[in-house]
Homo-oligomer: A and B are copies of this chain.
Amino acid sequence: MPKKIASPASGFSHLDAQGRAQMVDVSAKPDSARLAIAEGRVTCAPATIRLLRASALPKGDVLTVAKIAGISAAKATSTLIPLCHPLALTSVGVDFEVEADGIVIRATARITGKTGVEMEALTAVSVAALTIYDMCKAVDKGMSIGGIRVVQKLKS
């Protein structure tokens, strides 16, 4: 079978020697157990958090809806991000920490596969954050989403 020889431009694995976008060829990589954890935060007014604590958080719906949206998005990562590989994730978890003026989101993705899952964890965080934003936007016009980053990545 012919080898695909790509000399990536300046270290960008997603660009070929001509600087053109490409999907990384992971055909020759072995399957490894992989884990990635990502974080992000929805920042809102303290009044919004107080309102959530009074009415919505007791029922849990806001965070459960955001969790489900995050998990579903992680599974859809390769349809959202053009150069991501389709992956059979073995686990996705999304958890929340409610603070005085915001909600921290943490997502964990796992797989036994040929490529890392940090994009899946980041996508889960991003869409969970957007979902919280959507559910709170009627009471708070000044929210923002930030601090989205990978906090841990393991391969074994």
A interface residues with partner B (beta carbon < 8 Å):
1-2, 4, 8-15, 18-27, 29, 33, 35, 40, 51-52, 54-56, 58-62, 64-65, 67-69, 71-73, 75-76, 78-93, 108, 110-114, 118-119, 122-123, 126-127, 129-131, 133-139, 141-150, 154, 156
CB distance from A98 to the nearest CB of B (A): 14
Which of B13, B61, B88 touches A138 (beta carbons < 8 Å)? B13
Taking a contact as CB atoms under 8 Å apart, the answer to whether A86 and B89 are in contact is yes
Query: Which residue of chain B is the closest to A116 with respect to CB atoms?
Result: B137
CB distance from A1 to the nearest CB of B (A): 5
Which of B23, B40, B147 touches A92 (beta carbons < 8 Å)? B23
Taking a contact as CB atoms under 8 Å apart, the answer to whether B22 and A93 are in contact is yes
Taking a contact as CB atoms under 8 Å apart, the answer to whether A27 and B91 are in contact is yes
* Distance A114 CA – B91 CA, assembled complex (angstroms): 11
Taking a contact as CB atoms under 8 Å apart, the answer to whether B91 and A134 are in contact is no
Taking a contact as CB atoms under 8 Å apart, the answer to whether A145 and B126 are in contact is yes
Taking a contact as CB atoms under 8 Å apart, the answer to whether B21 and A64 are in contact is yes
Could you show 21 A-B contacts with beta carbons less than 8 Å apart? A2-B35, A11-B139, A12-B139, A20-B59, A21-B65, A27-B90, A60-B64, A61-B64, A65-B82, A68-B82, A69-B80, A75-B79, A81-B127, A85-B88, A86-B86, A86-B89, A122-B145, A126-B126, A129-B148, A143-B149, A144-B148
CB distance from A54 to the nearest CB of B (A): 6
* Distance A87 CA – B89 CA, assembled complex (angstroms): 9
